[in-house]
Amino acid sequence: MTDHPVPPPLGVLLAPSTIAVIGASRRENTIGHQILHNLLTFGFTGAVYPVNPSARSICGVRAYAHVVDAPDPVDVGVVVVPKDRVVEAVEECGAAGVKGVVVISAGFREVGPEGLARERAVLEVVRRHGMRMIGPNCMGVINCDPAVSMNATFTGTMPPFGRAAFVSQSGALGLSVLDYAREYGIGISQFVSVGNKADVSGNDLLMQWENDPSVGVILMYVESFGNPARFLEIARRLTKRKPIIAVKSGRSRAGARAATSHTGALAASDVAVDALLAQAGVLRASSVEELFDMATAFGARALPRSRRTAVLTNAGGPGILAADAMEACGLDLAELSPATIDGLRPLFPAEASIHNPLDMIASATPAGYRAAMAALLNDPGIDAVVPIFVPPFGVKQEDVADAIVGGASANTEKTVLAVLMGREGLPQGRKELLAAGIPTYIFPESAARALSTLNRHVEWAARPAPPITTPAGVDRVAGRRIIDVARRDGRANLTQVESLDLLAAYGIPIARGMVAVTVDDAVAAAEELRYPVVLKILSSDIVHKTEVGAVRVGIGSARQLRDEYADLMARVRARAPAARIRGVLVQETARGLCETIAGVARDPAFGPLLMFGLGGVLVEALHDVVFRIAPVDDAEACSMLSSIRGAAMLGAFRGSPASDRNALASVIRRLGQLALDFPEILELDVNPLLARVQGATAIDARVRIG
Ligand code: ADP
Ligand code: MG
């Protein structure tokens, strides 16, 4: 294995000087014909050699029986022979000194065990010769740079040249996206259909494009992550400089988990992917259409410096739609400055609304657009402007587009996204706007989403990313001791007390409590802890104590405690007769602002997942949780707190003060550390984790090991 030659960097595969098409065909409507045809038609700047033992020439180009017969050294072999002859063809490439192959042929891993064996055989040849391979089972490679102009696919068009690189796991989808690129005005620098990713992966391409100055934004269509940890590492760094926009389809295979905890059950969808993309700073698009909208946005002449946005419109409805959509995406419709208002007032009729949104009403002329654009862009309280135009009679869209471009030249350091609400298809004047760095949309909602995407990227890039350190006050030895006791006993679960002790060993504050095996013990414990106390059953056979009436809160006296104790025991014996009871846990009454849940689950591919959400007994009903992959830094833990739907619950709310977010974030980070230090922790729930004005307290915990 180790004596294999070192393969060349990916650059030569994406920008070769010479290409052999192995399996080139004279028959039209075959892939072997179409690929050669595309290389010739779209003006590949290097030399092309068709390889076919039974043809003298194809498409007017001299053909060769073998790669080695080509008159020049070959950089890349594009392989389109039937699956049984791929190994042989790649072997020939290797022997002829070819640097890399693009295997279009299908019939590999995707068809089952026999195909997988074939794929391994091809990969062995590739490695032995020190080559690189894209595919197999892919749709090829495009490089739109005029210096290369390579279209080694069988699509019918060549996208326009630009700064977006695109890697697609589905070749067909990728190519249909490229068909639209021209229409949407998205310039493509390179496109790679990675197919089965036997050798070259999405991660390899990210690393290649990270350092390619011609690539400004990266688009991905992803079905699966081969190496999520490496993706996270690369993308996290890369997205600080270049945006990555991804559409992910399919669900992760997280369902395989036997989930007994809340965290485990809630983790069983594609949350791991969401977590991975969020932590990597990748902008996730929910559809190909949204991918386009986002990609178009990055063609803006300037990125927004803040979320302070102004809307300009000639119709009330779209203005309100835009304002609503913007608010929903967290954009800030800032007040216009008095100077801006004073400047604009004389230009418009009295019915116009000189606020934000600025409604110039239907009589607005191109000159009105021009003046308003300039005024808004010169307002120091505004960093982005979204002009909206609904075509009335008498005003041409092209003229308004020109006026927007003209007005926008007043300040080119601010972001402008336009909305031209055409009746059919893409609006007139769009090209002029795009050329001026003004991405243009048909609907206000799309523009709002796109602008918010730009802001998200800017904020992510500005966010400090310190190396992740171990939280202070973590006692690994104590943690190890607790887990080892359970392992020695062959138990799959830690007891309630062990679980809480484990949290305490990692510096997570827990509610004070004492174990009692008789009612007299319980009274003594309550006296020491001070009333009011809480009484809970201690039994490994009872997972959710409340469900069997085995949690009693607000016990204010010894008498009440004796009553509750008797009642609790009777209830448990009636509802769970088989449960072995070890006694009761007497806990101090913890007081706080709101009950949250934090936890750990383990994904077979993504590793330990951290969860945070609004919780207590309502967690399943609310289903308001967010996941990240451990470990997380402070900023990431804080972003979890603000990512839940009910984030407002943690702020000052209806007269009650704000929760201590730092304390919650610290608990999340400590759980991450626990998950990393103890791979045997399969699932962990802290529920509730009580949010307080100062600090946070773990009240109940469950840990499953394996
Ligand atoms: P389980 O989850 O097994 O039903 P918990 O120990 O989480 O049992 O208790 C259920 C609920 O009782 C908690 O969500 C919380 O509202 C309340 N509770 C339990 N212990 C305390 C405590 N020490 N202080 C205040 N409230 C508590
Ligand atoms: Mg609980």
Atom of ligand 1 nearest to the CA of 536: 6
Which ligand has the nearest atom to the CA of 592? 1
Closest CA to 599 of 614, 588, 587: 614
Write down the pLDDT at residue 251: 47
- How far is residue 166's CA from residue 162's CA, in Å, rounded to a whole number? 11
Instruction: Write the residue with the smallest CA distance to atom 17 of ligand 1.
Output: 553
Which ligand has the nearest atom to the CA of 543? 1
| Residue of 263, 543, 546 to test ligand 1 pocket, by largest number of atoms within 8 Å of CB | 546
Atom of ligand 1 nearest to the CA of 533: 23
Q: How far is the CA of 634 from the centre of ligand 1 (A)?
A: 28
- 356: tokens are 């934000």
What does pTM read for this prediction?
0.87
- How far is residue 21's CA from residue 33's CA, in Å, rounded to a whole number? 9
Atom of ligand 1 nearest to the CA of 587: 23
Which ligand has the nearest atom to the CA of 590? 1
Write down the pLDDT at residue 5: 80
Q: How far is the CA of 687 from the centre of ligand 2 (A)?
A: 4
> For the CA atoms of the chain, what is the radius of gyration?
31
Extract the residue ranges of the chain whose pLDDT is less than 50: 1, 251-260, 268-269
Q: Is 553 in the pocket of ligand 1 (CB under 6 A)?
A: yes
Q: Is 587 in the pocket of ligand 1 (CB under 6 A)?
A: yes
Tell me which long-range contacts 25-29 makes (C-beta under 8 A, separation of at least 24). 25/52, 25/55, 25/58, 25/80, 26/52, 26/55, 26/58
- 323: tokens are 């304002």
Q: What are phi and psi of 552, to 5 degrees?
A: -120, 120
Q: How far is the CA of 345 from the centre of ligand 2 (A)?
A: 60
Q: How far is the CA of 521 from the centre of ligand 2 (A)?
A: 24
| Residue of 260, 493, 551, 692 to test ligand 1 pocket, by largest number of atoms within 8 Å of CB | 551
Atom of ligand 1 nearest to the CA of 589: 24
Which ligand has the nearest atom to the CA of 547? 1
Q: Is 512 in the pocket of ligand 1 (CB under 6 A)?
A: no
Q: Is 652 in the pocket of ligand 1 (CB under 6 A)?
A: no
**CA 119, chain centre distance (Å):** 30
Query: What region does 503 belong to: left with phi over 0, alpha with psi -120 to 50, or beta?
Result: alpha
DSSP string, 525-544: HHHHH-SSEEEEEE-TT-S-
Instruction: Write the residue with the smallest CA distance to atom 10 of ligand 1.
Output: 546
Amino acid at 147: A
Write down the pLDDT at residue 252: 42
The residues, ordered by sequence, that sit 6+ positions from 360 with a Cβ below 8 Å of its Cβ are: 312, 313, 314, 348, 352, 368, 369, 372
The answer to whether 192 touches 134, Cβ cutoff 8 Å, is yes
Instruction: Write the residue with the smallest CA distance to atom 5 of ligand 1.
Output: 700
Q: How far is the CA of 270 from the centre of ligand 1 (A)?
A: 30
- How far is residue 21's CA from residue 35's CA, in Å, rounded to a whole number? 8
Q: Is 533 in the pocket of ligand 1 (CB under 6 A)?
A: no
Helix (H) or strand (E) segment spanning residue 300: none
Q: Is 595 in the pocket of ligand 1 (CB under 6 A)?
A: yes
Q: What are phi and psi of 79, to 5 degrees?
A: -105, 120
Write down the pLDDT at residue 424: 63
- 432: tokens are 């002029």
pLDDT digits (tens, 9 = 90+) for 438-473: 999 999 999 999 999 999 999 999 988 888 889 999
Q: How far is the CA of 599 from the centre of ligand 2 (A)?
A: 12
Q: How far is the CA of 516 from the centre of ligand 2 (A)?
A: 19
Q: What are phi and psi of 275, to 5 degrees?
A: -60, -50
| Residue of 499, 515, 534, 703 to test ligand 1 pocket, by largest number of atoms within 8 Å of CB | 534
| Residue of 541, 594, 700, 702 to test ligand 1 pocket, by largest number of atoms within 8 Å of CB | 700
* DSSP 3-state percent helix, strand, coil across the chain (nearest 5): 40, 20, 40
Write down the pLDDT at residue 266: 55
Q: Is the peptide bond before 8 cis (omega within 30 degrees of 0)?
A: no
- 641: tokens are 């707190």
Write down the pLDDT at residue 425: 66
Q: Is 616 in the pocket of ligand 1 (CB under 6 A)?
A: yes
Q: How far is the CA of 661 from the centre of ligand 1 (A)?
A: 21
